[in-house]
Amino acid sequence: MNTFTSPTTTGTRSSGRATGFLLANTAKTAVLLGAIGGLLVAIGSILGGSSGAVIGLIFGVLISGGSYWFSDKLALRSAGAVEVNEAQAPTLYRIVRDLTARADLPMPKICLIDEDQPNAFATGRNPKHAAVAVTRGLLEICDEREVAGVLAHELAHVKHRDILIASIAGAVATAISFVANMAMWSAMFGGGDDEDSPSPVVALLVAMVAPLAAGILQMALSRSREFEADRGGAEILGDPRPLASALQKLDYASNRIPNVHVQPSQASAYIVNPLSGRKVAFANLFRTHPSTEERVEKLLALT
């Protein structure tokens, strides 16, 4: 039975870097969330004046509330994750129990996904209603210490309420696309005599640009939270090297082992992008995750 080392002392300089990193990412998260929500209200205002802005705000609040309550169930169902008990996965339970004690978190549900691609994600609206899910592939290619690094990363997401933040951002981005498209069709096929109604050209431009802008903001938010979860996971485990090693293995495998069950809307939830093998133009702009090289570099700088 492997034991884990206690958290290492990295000194004042390292602690200062970590604090600065945390503050920078927290500020960035607040700005990006505000920008996504503000974009929804702005679209409502452009397409329907002051009444449209109010409708956009109400719609955003409603869809964010629904995301708060149901995103965990949808995420687990979408991934085909099955909850397991301690008798079925004793090693996983031992690792998670040790990590939650270190992080002062309640024990989450533990789920397994029957997928060859090594990966993992966490979900749940708060630490008391959290779940962590790992694929069969992760357990096959990572040693126990690397699995602990991955699970510490996921528990850092839980501790930082990142799942809730990402769910709200995703829900509002979806609302933006819905509102923009509905307004476009309304402007093109009726309601053009209303003073608050935009011209068909304006509605078409908004319908094209708004979802793209919302998606870019959502992906930037996801990248900032991954960096912070890497740092938090290394802090929980007391050593950044197992997570760095696991990320390299997972990145290599994700480009070679497809995961056909993951929907693009769920990709940002995983520790590495399960769809990273699908290449797109302007890749950095549309990344849901930072590059593995950058993540590993930042992790090893904490040693």
Residue 76: inside a domain, yes or no?
Answer: yes
Residue 57: inside a domain, yes or no?
Answer: no
The residue behind tokens 């029957």 is 114
- Asked whether the predicted pLDDT for residue 236 surpasses 80, the reply is yes
Give the model's pLDDT for residue 156: 95
Instruction: Kindly state the tokens that stand for 53.
Output: 């802005």
Residue 59: inside a domain, yes or no?
Answer: no
Specify which residues 135 forms β-bridges with: 113
Stretch among 39-48, 71-80, 288-297 having the lowest mean pLDDT = 39-48
Find, among 299, 246, 235, the residue nearest to 102 by Cα.
235
Specify which residues 113 forms β-bridges with: 81, 135
The residue behind tokens 């549309």 is 286
Which residues are CB-neighbours of 283 under 8 A, at least 6 positions away?
A: none
What is the rounded average pLDDT of the residues 4-22? Answer: 44
Q: What is the pLDDT of residues 25-66, one digit of tens each?
A: 445 545 555 555 555 556 655 555 556 556 655 665 666 566
Packed helices 200-237 and 90-103: angle between N→C axes, nearest 10 degrees: 90
Separation of alpha carbons 123 and 186, rounded Å: 37
- Asked whether the predicted pLDDT for residue 76 surpasses 60, the reply is yes
Q: What is the mean pLDDT of the chain?
A: 75
Predicted TM-score (pTM) of this structure = 0.70
Q: How many domains does the chain have?
A: 1
Phi first, then psi: what are they for 209, rounded to 5°? -85, -40
Write the DSSP string, 90-158.
HHHHHHHHHHHHHHT-PPPEEEEE--SS--EEEE-SSGGG-EEEEEHHHHHHS-HHHHHHHHHHHHHHH
Q: Which domain holds residue 268?
A: 65-175+206-300
Q: What is the pLDDT of residues 122-138, one digit of tens each?
A: 998 788 989 999 999 99
What is the rounded average pLDDT of the residues 282-303? Answer: 79
Stretch among 68-82, 160-174, 219-233, 264-278 having the lowest mean pLDDT = 160-174
CB atoms near residue 9 (< 10 Å): 9
Residue 273: inside a domain, yes or no?
Answer: yes
Give the model's pLDDT for residue 175: 64
Residue 5: inside a domain, yes or no?
Answer: no
Check residue 291 and report its DSSP letter. -
The residue behind tokens 């060859």 is 116
Separation of alpha carbons 36 and 43, rounded Å: 11
| Helix boundaries (H) for the chain | 11-79, 90-103, 136-141, 144-159, 162-189, 200-237, 241-254, 292-300
Find, among 103, 155, 138, 147, the residue nearest to 242 by Cα.
147
Q: What is the pLDDT of residues 149-159, one digit of tens each?
A: 999 999 999 99
The angle formed by the CA atoms of residues 111, 157 and 254, to the nearest 5 degrees, is 65
What CATH number has the domain bearing residue 142? 3.30.2010.10
Residue 49: inside a domain, yes or no?
Answer: no
Check residue 279 and report its DSSP letter. -
Q: Does residue 140 have an active-site annotation?
A: no
Write the DSSP string, 244-259.
HHHHHHHHHHHTTS--
Residue 133: inside a domain, yes or no?
Answer: yes
Residue 142: inside a domain, yes or no?
Answer: yes
Q: What is the pLDDT of residues 194-215, one digit of tens each?
A: 555 556 666 666 666 766 666 6
Give the model's pLDDT for residue 55: 63
- Asked whether the predicted pLDDT for residue 11 surpasses 60, the reply is no
Give the model's pLDDT for residue 282: 41
Considering 115, 146, 154, 228, which one is annotated as catalytic? Answer: 154
